């Protein structure tokens, strides 16, 4: 098969991660002149840029052009038709967290369009969608990579795939999968010193941009549950959805239904004693409390919530907003393979997407 001289790139999403990816794509196109990477489509939820003759869109000023564009984004079926008709290999980069785009992955892949994405919803939604995505890719030969759906640019998914594909037996996966929760508990219950009040730490995390606009979207544990669902499936467990296993929410029942994130923060101090008791109980045992996810492959148990750890444990010793993921396997024995580092942030998340794009290019071009 002759190598493709050109690969078209279509991008959905030009927000935080999307902007960082555009910068990395421009550098990649300069560093790797072959195959030629041509941006032929880019859209946000409201605007788009594309040309009927597939003329290349200049990457360097695309953000400002997109803001002033009068073109509307194409719905997935129309976009597939447009991308298919170009006559060139095409990679769709989905830098959104949209369920609608995720639901269309089997259609894109079935039509030979490869996908790279940090979108967790495609791989942690229903198990049926997961099966449809990978079976469509297998049938058409299109590629799908989603390294940044867990741990941003950390090589979590590629490492797990390598362990499984080389025949190692993964027995347990455990770790801190949320930069937000890592930051909160490293400040609230540090291994040395006292730590702050729980509500004050949540407020500080929000002010520093570590939480979602409404901190409850982090504290409900669902983000971690989505990541665990993805890893459990890659390890061979047929997990139906992120709500099909125990997930501990740190939102007081009384505050689940308050109208806004700001109102939640105002009322949270009244519930500080609950978290203080949890912290004190761990301290009595000479331990610290952390918010972790774990997958026990043998017993098929997945859970997310608070656990106590000895001060010497790698999970206890995390700093800042780092993630840590430990893989316990037959080959690695009692000392797990550990991956640690920044698990959130635009540039590192985009790095995982760019790295996936390079993998696809090596296979399709």
Active centre residues (catalytic): 227
287 alpha-carbon distance from chain centroid = 30
**Contact in structure between 178 and 224 (CB atoms under 8 Å):** yes
**According to the annotation, is 261 in a ligand binding site?**
no
- As to burial, measured by CB atoms within 10 angstroms (0-12 exposed, 13-18 middle, 19+ buried), residue 220 is middle
Q: First vs last Cα of the chain: how many Å apart?
A: 10
Nearest to 358 by CA among 140, 182, 145, 172: 145
**According to the annotation, is 345 in a ligand binding site?**
no
**According to the annotation, is 212 in a ligand binding site?**
yes
**According to the annotation, is 153 in a ligand binding site?**
no
**According to the annotation, is 346 in a ligand binding site?**
no
Cα–Cα dist 309/326, whole Å? 14
Q: Kindly write down the DSSP assignment for every residue of 194-249, as one continuous string.
A: ----HHHHHHHHHHTT-S-SSTHHHHTSHHHHHHHHHHHHHTT-----TTSS-B--
**Contact in structure between 225 and 243 (CB atoms under 8 Å):** yes
**According to the annotation, is 128 in a ligand binding site?**
no
**According to the annotation, is 18 in a ligand binding site?**
yes
Instruction: Please enumerate, by residue number, every residue annotated as part of a binding site for L-homoserine.
Output: 212
Instruction: Please enumerate, by residue number, every residue annotated as part of a binding site.
Output: 13-18, 96, 120, 212
Instruction: Please enumerate, by residue number, every residue annotated as part of a binding site for NADPH.
Output: 96, 120
Instruction: Please enumerate, by residue number, every residue annotated as part of a binding site for NADP(+).
Output: 13-18
């Amino acid at each position: 098969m002759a190598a493709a001289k050109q690969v078209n790139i279509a991008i959905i999403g030009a927000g935080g991660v999307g902007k960082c990816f555009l910068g990395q794509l421009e550098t990649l196109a300069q560093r790797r002149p072959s195959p030629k990477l041509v941006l032929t489509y880019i859209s946000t939820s409201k605007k788009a840029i594309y040309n009927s003759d597939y003329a290349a869109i200049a990457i360097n000023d695309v953000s400002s052009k997109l803001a002033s564009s009068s073109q509307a984004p194409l719905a997935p079926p129309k976009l597939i038709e447009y991308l298919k008709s170009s006559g060139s290999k095409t990679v769709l980069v989905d830098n959104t967290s949209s369920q609608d785009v995720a639901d269309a992955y089997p259609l894109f892949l079935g039509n030979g369009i490869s996908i790279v994405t940090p979108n967790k919803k495609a791989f942690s939604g229903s198990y049926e969608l997961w099966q449809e995505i990978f079976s469509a890719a297998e049938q058409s030969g299109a590629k799908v990579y989603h390294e940044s759906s867990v741990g941003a640019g950390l090589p979590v998914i590629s490492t797990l795939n390598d362990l499984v594909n080389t025949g190692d037996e993964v027995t347990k996966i455990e770790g801190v999968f949320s930069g937000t929760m890592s930051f909160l508990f490293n400040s609230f219950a540090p291994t040395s010193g006292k730590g702050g009040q729980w509500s004050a730490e949540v407020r500080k995390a929000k002010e520093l941009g570590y939480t979602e606009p409404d901190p409850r979207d982090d504290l409900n544990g669902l983000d971690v549950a989505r990541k665990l669902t993805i890893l459990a499936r890659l390890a061979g467990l047929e997990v139906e959805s992120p709500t099909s296993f125990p997930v501990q929410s740190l939102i007081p029942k009384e505050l689940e239904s308050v109208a806004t994130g700001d109102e939640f923060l105002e009322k949270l101090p009244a519930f500080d004693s609950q978290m203080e008791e949890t912290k004190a109980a761990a301290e009595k045992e000479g331990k610290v409390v952390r918010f972790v996810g774990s997958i026990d492959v043998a017993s098929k148990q997945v859970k997310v919530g608070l656990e106590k750890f000895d001060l010497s444990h790698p999970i206890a010793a995390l700093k800042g907003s780092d993630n840590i993921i430990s893989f316990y396997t037959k080959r690695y024995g009692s000392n797990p393979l550990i991956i640690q580092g920044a698990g959130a942030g635009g540039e590192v998340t985009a790095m995982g997407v760019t790295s996936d794009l390079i993998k696809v290019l090596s296979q399709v071009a």
